[in-house]
Amino acid sequence: MARDRLNISKENNNFVEELKEKGILDIDSSYSNKDIFLLAAALGIDSPKNLEGGKFGFVRLEYIHSYEKALISAITLGDKKNQNEIDKFSDSEIEYANSERCAQSGFETLKEIVKESQGDEDLLCDKLMSKLDFLYQKNIKSNLEIDDNK
């Protein structure tokens, strides 16, 4: 049977429902699951982990547009070291599985940040932005600077 969704763990789905219910980060039912998934994948890009427990179909693939597909592809492409590995990145199943692993780790990071913030929304936003900025500096900006020096 062909894949039709991006999955997250059932535990992480419960966490997302809690975020929506409590309005944490102003996340409510109007937020798309794909945006929440991509945030989690970004947070977990450095430390992908296998999904634990039962899986929950979180994002229907029919709702993934080309720019989101490009982000998912970039997650996989970013850790390839040579041309042979890069050629494999066009395999959608590999890309989806890798993005799910990054999201799994990212949800763990987000849970930790939410817990550390103890309900202080400003602190939560500051911690989240610091983490995302760190990941940008490490994974994007440093690579751009290397390319500029060639």
Return phi, psi of residue 120, to 5°: -85, 100
> Domain coordinates of the chain in residue numbers?
5-148
Q: Tens digits of per-residue pLDDT, 106-131?
A: 999 999 999 999 989 999 999 999 99
pLDDT band for 78, please (50, 70, 90 cuts): low
Residue 84 has pLDDT above 90, yes or no: no
Residue 148 has pLDDT above 60, yes or no: no
CB 12 within 8 A of CB 104: yes
Higher pLDDT, 81 or 56: 56
Amino acid at 8: I
By three-state DSSP, how is residue 6 classified? strand
- The span from the CA of 78 to the CA of 65, in Å, is 20
